[in-house]
Amino acid sequence: MRILEIAATGMMAQQTNVEVISNNIANINTTAFKRGRAEFSDLIYQSQQRSGAFSSDAGTIVPVGVQIGLGVKPAAVARITEQGSLQQTGNKLDLALQGRGFFVVRMPDGTNSYTRTGTFQLSPEGAIVTPEGFELDPGIALPENVSDISVNRSGEVFAYVPGQDEPQLAGRFSLATFINEAGLEALGDNMFRETLASGQPFLGLPDEEGVGSIRQGYVENSNVNVVEEVTDLISAQRAYEMNAKVIETADQMAQRISNMR
């Protein structure tokens, strides 16, 4: 019987669905996290009679064929890239992106990665770095004895030094945008890497056309909606139970056949 195999694909699909939902809930407080959504597609069909086949020598055709579906399979885990809410922190090195764009981070192997997490720190040399110690590209370094910093919407970093009336321009952030942000490969640590699906990055300056702006003293919250995730979790659990019930029914049918005399 195909029932067992079909129901098994349904249970595995809902297991994947629950794993995606659980990852969303686990990252509800992760800065700038983008929730995922499991997407599914039906498997190939077994045709026992084709639609439109001739049913007689008089030219009559079969209006509706007979196709038996063989179950379901995961098609993709789509990343929902909608903007998360901004939370004020007051930290001068907390920078939130409002709109499109990613901070460009130079990795130790010389390649670039991309992140929307703007919880930056200072290195011993005064460079602005990620919590893992990776520098930006292009790098931004503050002068010695800096007393305060200011970052405007356009990404310009100004450093205030005691004894000087005018602030110094220490550098400017560059942001990367992609045609298909959902096609980026997640690396962990809130980092992403470009792929053939995402397309090449387009580098631009904050607050320009098509590029988001920077908010100093804010962080972007996760875009996970708890109520929606719990609702989806309940639906996935019910679907899993129904597929398990189908397997139980198929087992009872097979048992009934085996006991026939």
Flag the least confident range among 63-67, 98-102, 105-109, 123-127.
Answer: 63-67
The residue among 251, 261, 156, 166 whose CA lies nearest residue 213 is 156
> What average pLDDT does the segment 211-219 reach?
95
What's the whole-number mean pLDDT along residues 18-28? 96
pLDDT at 67: 79
Using the predicted structure, report yes or no on whether residue 164 has a pLDDT greater than 90: no
Pairwise CA distance, residues 166 & 143, whole Å: 14
Whether the Cβ atoms of residue 38 and residue 74 lie closer than 8 Å to each other: yes
Selection from 205, 30, 189 nearest residue 113 by Cα: 189
pTM here is 0.84
Q: By three-state DSSP, how is residue 15 classified? A: helix
pLDDT value at position 261?
Answer: 64
- Asked if residue 28 has pLDDT above 90, the reply is yes
Mean pLDDT of 201-228: 94
- State percent of the chain over pLDDT 70: 100
Mean local confidence (pLDDT), 13-19: 95
Q: Is the pLDDT of residue 111 over 90?
A: yes
> What pLDDT, on a 0 to 100 scale, did the predictor assign at position 46?
81
